[in-house]
Amino acid sequence: MPRATLASFANRIAKPDLRWMPDEGLTVSRLRIELLSGLTVALALVPEAVAFAFVAGVHPLVGLYAAFMVGLITALIGGRPGMISGATGALAVVMVALVAEHGVEYLFATVVLMGILQVIAGAMHWGRFIRLVPHPVMLGFVNGLAIVIFLAQMGQFKVPGSMENTGHGMSGGEWLTGMPMYLMLGLVALTMAVIWVMPRITRVVPAPLAGIAVVAALVIGFGLDVPRVGDLASIEGGLPAFHVPMVPLNWETFEIILPYAVILAAIGLIESLLTLNLVGEITGKRGGASQECIAQGVSNVATGFFGGMGGCAMIGQSMINVKSGGRTRIAAIAAALFLLVFILFASPLIEQIPLAALVGVMFMVVIGTFAWNSFNIMRKVPLMDAFVIVLVTVVTVMEDLAVAVVVGVIVSALAYAWNNAKRIHAITRESETEKGAKVYEINGPLFFGSSDGFIELFDVPNDPETVIVDFAESRVVDQSALQAIENIAAKYETAGKRVMLRHLSRDCHKLLNKAGHLMVDSDDDPDYEIAVDYSVRTGILGGH
């Protein structure tokens, strides 16, 4: 790793951009909002962490410890205040095969290696590549994830204990019927109504927390028989203890865990960085991608050594936090610490919270997360952009987030290349400086997608003895472009004609030099600062 990169990495760890305080300073009112927001998030984290632990095929405490460790460390040194991280379903569905075949100790070792890879990605500043994700892909990501969050809540409408882990998540099971279903739906609706009404009455208490409190009080007070957090599993436990993964330290182990670690690291970073962008749009903050990669990596390394299943940013809980008013690191730290308090001391109380209240909170998250304006946007944007939005949404739901984003970026890139390939054209005229010469003024980028169209622009048999190709309005981008120029040179040479190249920019000049072509510099072009009049003959282009 270059010395400058190592220095930058060390400086970022030593002096992370903590940004503890909001712009207006930390007041009593702000502290109250942050703490209550953290409490709300912690309550929502419990069933999610337990459910994802079931999906991965591990003990619920493995998911809860991951939510605590990852949440706390990323809150301290992450790239965006307001973000919440923990155990996620996107990672759990990858882990299940590893756990089923090799056991949970291999999972811990994989999480450690996953974290190391994420730290490397952050130190190398690879997080900046998230800028290449087009806006239609972001819209599809948001919509797809909202649908995934919605579908994930459907399991709470089934009889507790009736679902089975099929290796692809919790599925099957018997739906609630009759009065239990009506009661569940009514409590979910009540929670949503409280969350909707509460901001219109007061903002002293975050609306999601108020919804949970009202419904929980109603259920506990009247002794209503509805599914509760304790029906999923007991969350009682002790402090996470340091634990070195009990796996053989040999090449065979490395071969087993490396593919999973790479996939988990990629999925975790993609989901975290997209969530970082989304939270940034709401809070008005920018940057922090590389810092977030490092924070995710450090948290996963630590989690792997403390018996956790690893994690990444959670868009649902992040939305709960920012919508509840959480704007600093205090809220995320409070959420992690509240979760630990639940595990150590308050498990009997937390286990009494009705699942309907938490489902109602998540349904409101779905409504707030889904980009409803995308339906209007799709009618106004180019057809390909609308297709990408739908494609990413569908792939996110059917497969997973990482695949959906990669597919969306590839399709968008191909569409961009195709559109640019069609831009290549030429304006022809007689030369003002070379008597009898024909000038081709090339417009549009010359690259792999437009190289064939570039060649088709020329009328070799009918052109005069001297042809000038002017690149003032074009750029030579890649090797395919160089090859296209060579092909044209060869055709004119075979026809016994002379070709001159003009107005190649400095980057084009470097490409041709790098490819081994002879170029002659001149200072007769003040705009481009390089020689732009080259005779293309045997030995100059084409190497004949």
Cβ–Cβ under 8 Å, residues 326 and 101? no
Which residue, among 260, 287, 301, has the nearest Cα to 125 in the 3D structure?
A: 287
Location of structure tokens 């160089």 = 482
Please count the other Cβ atoms lying within 10 Å of the Cβ belonging to residue 1: 9
Whether 71 and 207 share a structural domain: yes
Cα of 401 vs its chain's centroid, Å: 8
Q: Is the pTM of this model over 0.85?
A: no
Cα of 470 vs its chain's centroid, Å: 42
How many residues are present in the chain? Answer: 544
pLDDT score recorded for residue 205:
87
Pairwise CA distance, residues 398 & 145, whole Å: 11
Cα of 283 vs its chain's centroid, Å: 18
Pairwise CA distance, residues 527 & 525, whole Å: 6
DSSP structural state of residue 228: B
Domain assignment present for 479? yes
DSSP structural state of residue 176: P
pLDDT score recorded for residue 20:
53
Burial of 503 (0-12, 13-18, 19+ CB in 10 A): buried
Domain assignment present for 30? no
Domain assignment present for 542? no
Phi, psi of 111, deg, nearest 5: -65, -40
Whether 296 and 150 share a structural domain: yes
Domain CATH code at residue 498: 3.30.750.24
Q: Which residues of the chain have pLDDT under 70?
A: 1-25, 160-172, 505-544
pLDDT in tens, 119-156: 999 999 988 888 888 989 989 988 998 898 898 888 88
Give the per-residue SS3 of 343-396.
Answer: HHCCHHHHCCCEHHHHHHHHHHHHHHHCCCCHHHHHCCCCHHHHHHHHHHHHHH
Which residue segment(s) compose the domain that 472 sits in?
Answer: 425-536
Cβ–Cβ under 8 Å, residues 19 and 327? no
Whether 352 and 477 share a structural domain: no
Cβ–Cβ under 8 Å, residues 405 and 392? yes
Pairwise CA distance, residues 59 & 97, whole Å: 15
Domain assignment present for 144? yes
Whether 191 and 82 share a structural domain: yes
Question: What percent of the residues of the chain are helix, what percent strand, and what percent coil, each to the nearest 5?
Answer: 60, 10, 30
Whether 253 and 328 share a structural domain: yes
Phi, psi of 500, deg, nearest 5: -125, 135
Q: Which residues contact 417 (CB under 8 A, 6 or more apart)?
A: 447, 448, 449
Domain assignment present for 166? no
Location of structure tokens 């994420």 = 118
For the stretch 154-160, contacts whose Cβ atoms lie closer than 8 Å and that sit 24 or more positions apart, written own/partner, are 155/51, 156/47, 156/184, 156/227, 156/355, 156/356, 156/358, 156/359, 157/181, 157/184, 157/359, 160/227, 160/231, 160/232
* Residue finishing a domain among 353, 384, 415: 384
Pairwise CA distance, residues 49 & 319, whole Å: 17
Domain count, the chain: 2
Pairwise CA distance, residues 496 & 369, whole Å: 66
Q: How many separate helices (H) and strands (E) can be counted in the chain?
A: 21, 9
Domain assignment present for 236? yes
Whether 429 and 378 share a structural domain: no
Whether 336 and 202 share a structural domain: yes
Q: How far apart are the first and last CA of the chain?
A: 42
Whether 298 and 235 share a structural domain: yes
Pairwise CA distance, residues 339 & 48, whole Å: 12
Q: Which residues contact 503 (CB under 8 A, 6 or more apart)?
A: 470, 471, 472, 525, 528, 532
Whether 338 and 437 share a structural domain: no
Phi, psi of 221, deg, nearest 5: -65, -40
Whether 91 and 235 share a structural domain: yes
Supply the DSSP string of 520-533, one letter for each residue.
Answer: ---SS-TTT-S---
Domain assignment present for 307? yes
Cα dihedral angle (25, 29, 35, 36), rounded to 10 degrees?
Answer: -140
Pairwise CA distance, residues 343 & 41, whole Å: 15
Please count the CA atoms within 13 angstroms of the CA of 479 that sit on its side-chain side. 3
Pairwise CA distance, residues 214 & 220, whole Å: 10
Whether 106 and 219 share a structural domain: yes
Whether 368 and 439 share a structural domain: no
Q: Which residues contact 368 (CB under 8 A, 6 or more apart)?
A: 319, 323
Domain assignment present for 443? yes
Cβ–Cβ under 8 Å, residues 118 and 265? yes
pLDDT score recorded for residue 54:
85
Location of structure tokens 């109602």 = 360
pLDDT in tens, 35-74: 999 999 999 999 889 888 888 889 999 999 999 999 999 9
DSSP structural state of residue 421: H
Pairwise CA distance, residues 530 & 393, whole Å: 48
